[in-house]
Amino acid sequence: MADYREAPLASRPTTLDPNEYYNLSPEYRRAEQERAALRSNLKRQYQLKLNDPHRQQLIEDPALSRWVYARANPYSHFRPTGKTSLLGALFGVAPLFILYYVFKTNRDGKDAQIKAGTLERKYKMSY
């Protein structure tokens, strides 16, 4: 631990806190050091891009790009599971049949009333 120096822009992770690392194996500590070095390198690159006076465009975040792609392309990665099939049936198929039944019975009822002559035609502004 003595030769680990904090990167200028990175904070010391909790597992490298001296109070914590008495129980950690040397391999774990080495792995943590490497990971911390990678993270601080990424942060350094971001800060370099952020403060570059000649930068004209957005800084590309690969995680954001992946997320945007995932949100924009659901159909190519669609898998019919139990849950998706249920949702599809519940929101895509069943309402169409339910609405057809509702509208048809309503309109046929009105038709029957007209045929029987019982429809009360109130004054209507819109038609």
Partner 1 sequence: MLKILIPTLFLIPTTWLTPQKWLWPTVMTQSMMIALISLTWLNNSSESGWTTMNSLIATDPLSTPLLVLSCWLLPLLVLASQNHLSSEPSSRQKTFLSLLSLLQVFIIMAFSATEMIMFYVMFEATLIPTLLVITRWGNQAERLNAGIYFLFYTLVGSLPLLVALLMLQNCTGTLSLLVLHYSQPVTMAPMSSKIWWVACMGAFLVKMPLYGAHLWLPKAHVEAPVAGSMVLAAVLLKLGGYGMMRLMVVLAPTSKEMAYPFIIMALWGVVMTGSTCLRQTDLKSLIAYSSVGHMGLVVAGILIQTPWGLTGALILMIAHGLTSSALFCLANTNYERTHTRTMLLARGLQTALPLMTAWWFIASLANLALPPLPNLMGELMIISSLFNWSPWTLLLTGVGTLITASYSLYMFLMTQRGPLPKHMMALPPSFTREHLLMALHLLPLMLIILKPAILWGCFP
Q: Which two tokens stand for residue 100?
A: 């057809």
Three-state DSSP at 2 gives coil
Taking the complex as a whole, the smallest distance from the CB of residue 81 to partner 1 amounts, in Å, to 20
Helix (H), strand (E) counts: the chain: 4, 0
Residue positions counted in the chain: 127
Q: Which of 31, 48, 87, 102 binds partner 1 (CB under 8 A)?
A: 102
Taking the complex as a whole, the smallest distance from the CB of residue 3 to partner 1 amounts, in Å, to 35
Nearer to partner 1, 77 or 124 (CB): 124
d(CA 17, CA 93): 57
Does residue 100 bind partner 1 (CB under 8 A)?
yes
Nearer to partner 1, 28 or 103 (CB): 103
Residue window 67-96: x/- pattern of binding to partner 1, with contact defined by CB under 8 A: xx--xx------------------xx--xx
- Write out the DSSP string of 14-27: GGGSTTTGGGS-HH
What does the binding site for partner 1 look like in residue numbers (CB under 8 A)? 50, 55-59, 64, 67-68, 71-72, 91-92, 95-96, 99-100, 102-104, 106-107, 124-127
